[in-house]
Amino acid sequence: MSFLVEDNPARRRFEILVDDALAGFAAYVPRGEVLVFTHTEVESRFRDMGVGSALIRAALDQVRERGGRIVSECPFMTAFIERHPEYASLVTVA
């Protein structure tokens, strides 16, 4: 199984493809250099396979590479960051 995570600015979300099928997304609202993540969704057939975590990790890595910051209004992303404090430095207040 191969994962590919890409930013889709036109739809304001990071999307994860699993073996070329859209498996989920993390939606955001841009506010300057800050992305406010509002919702993460994984298709039911891809749940419990690590797809959501792979999506969040790749999205946060891409934000870090760009020098951006995030606000997490998404409970899944917030829980991920709490479990992976190496991403805490990306979080800012709205």
Q: How many separate domains does the chain show?
A: 1
pLDDT at 71: 98
Sheet of 3-8: strand order equals 3-8, 13-18, 21-31, 34-42, 69-72
pLDDT at 30: 96
Q: Residue 49: exposed, middle, or buried by beta-carbon count in 10 A (0-12, 13-18, 19+)?
A: middle
pLDDT digits (tens, 9 = 90+) for 1-19: 789 999 999 999 999 999 9
| CATH number of 55's domain | 3.40.630.30
pLDDT digits (tens, 9 = 90+) for 22-69: 999 999 999 988 999 999 999 999 999 999 999 999 999 999 999 999
Query: Residue 56's domain spans which residues?
Result: 3-90
DSSP state of 78: H
